[in-house]
Amino acid sequence: MTNPMQDKKRPFKDHRPKHFLFETDAVGRVATITLNRPEKKNPLTFESYEELTDLFRSLHRASDVRAVVLTGAEHNFSSGGDVFEIIEPLTRMAMPDLIDFTRMTGDLVRQIRACPQPIIAAVDGICAGAGAILAMSADYRIATPEARTAFLFNRVGLAGADMGACGILPRIIGQGRAAELLFTGRVMTAHEGHAWGFYNALHERPALLEAAQKFAGDIADGPWFAHAMTKKMLDQEWAMGIDQLIESEAQAQAICMATGDFRRAFEAFAAKTRPVFKGD
């Protein structure tokens, strides 16, 4: 008998986007998204915003991908929105179109946070504006010592309140540090980012992508249904009081206890073998 919900899932191993690179490891469990306009330091366009949003939204139905690495081509992460393909057209738009745009860009962050796969950002070089927002939106961030991260919206006369930055960034590095970066638009060095908790680790350039993919592989080999639950709870509990979050975690953990992964992990422990997680 077929499972209607499983039948809705599809593999992403052969997914071919138009506006960035997408590849997976041999078994399709770790996907790597590479922003790929190196001649302009990998900026975003209207089209790449939409395609990235659609991809993260559709990963809910992935039958193979369990973790995602997000990076940029040729020693830069992303310089943010393309000045001439996004910024200049925005100066000529009326308010209804502007709000459509800001809601569209915010939806990319929403879909990154909502997709069940943990997202690992591997950051090198320039990571600015909307590029810094992409890194901020990831679940785990590593960088090279050359990474330069800037939330520089004030440099173009805009608020630091862009794509969730005023809500998410303080939760990562603290209110005072976030306020400094958002008011000044100054560069946060890689070593500052590491010391402040924005970056989990620093790696030399030749080792960056391999380190990100290894971490993603370790996640993908683990109890990925439970990982998806952890990600959901990390997001959901931001707006909860202590009673609500304790109850929410009680329900989440009970759901995980009903999975085959939980039973197999116990049986493997008892047999002194390594568990095999299947996500059921």
* DSSP string computed for 222-264: S-HHHHHHHHHHHHHGGG--HHHHHHHHHHHHHHHHTSHHHHH
pLDDT band at 6 (very low <50, low <70, confident <90, very high): confident
The position carrying tokens 């809910």 is 60
Residue 87: the pLDDT is 84
Give the whole-number percent of the chain exceeding pLDDT 90. Answer: 81
Quick one: 170 exposed, middle or buried, by C-beta within 10 A (0-12, 13-18, 19+)? middle
Q: How many C-beta neighbours within 10 Å does residue 65 have?
A: 24
Rounded to an integer, what distance in angstroms lies between the CA atom of residue 32 and that of residue 21?
Answer: 8
pLDDT digit string, tens, across residues 108-154:
999 999 999 999 999 999 999 999 999 999 999 999 999 999 999 98
Q: By the 8 A CB rule, do 218 and 277 touch?
A: no
Whether the Cβ atoms of residue 276 and residue 264 lie closer than 8 Å to each other? yes
And the tokens for 190? Answer: 């890689």
Averaged confidence pLDDT in the chain: 94
Through-space distance between the first and last CA atoms of the chain, rounded to whole angstroms: 17
Separation CA 81–CA 49 (nearest Å): 9
Tell me how many degrees the CA angle 120-194-229 measures, rounded to the nearest 5.
35
Residues 137, 111: Cα–Cα separation, whole Å: 10
Confidence category of residue 1, pLDDT binned at 50, 70, 90: low
Joined together, the tokens standing for residue 71 give 């990076």
pLDDT at 239: 86
Cα 6 to Cα 11, 15, 61: the distances in Å are: 11, 19, 9
What pLDDT is recorded for position 228?
A: 95
The contacts of residue 153 (CB under 8 Å, 6+ apart) are 129, 159, 160, 162, 165, 182, 185
Determine the Cα–Cα distance for residues 11 and 59; give it in Å rounded to an integer.
9
The full set of domains in the chain, from first to last, is 4-221 (3.90.226.10), 224-271 (no CATH)
Residue among 209, 186, 193, 72 at smallest CA distance from 201: 193
Residues forming beta bridges with residue 188, ordered by sequence position: 149
Other beta carbons less than 10 A from residue 111's beta carbon: 19
Strand partners, 34: 21, 71
- Please say whether the dihedral angle defined by the alpha carbons of residues 71, 74, 77 and 78, taken in this order, is positive or negative: negative
Question: Does position 208 have pLDDT exceeding 80, yes or no?
Answer: yes
Please report, rounded to a whole number, the percentage of residues in the chain having pLDDT higher than 70.
100
Non-local (6+) Cβ contacts of 45 within 8 A are 19, 81, 82, 85, 86
What would the mean pLDDT of 236-264 be, rounded to a whole number? 90
Q: pLDDT (tens digit, 9 = 90+) per residue, 47-89?
A: 999 999 999 999 999 999 999 999 999 999 999 988 888 888 9
Q: How confident is the model at residue 8 (pLDDT cuts 50, 70, 90)?
A: confident
Non-local CB neighbours of 219 within 8 Å, separated by 6+ positions: 66, 67, 118, 120, 227
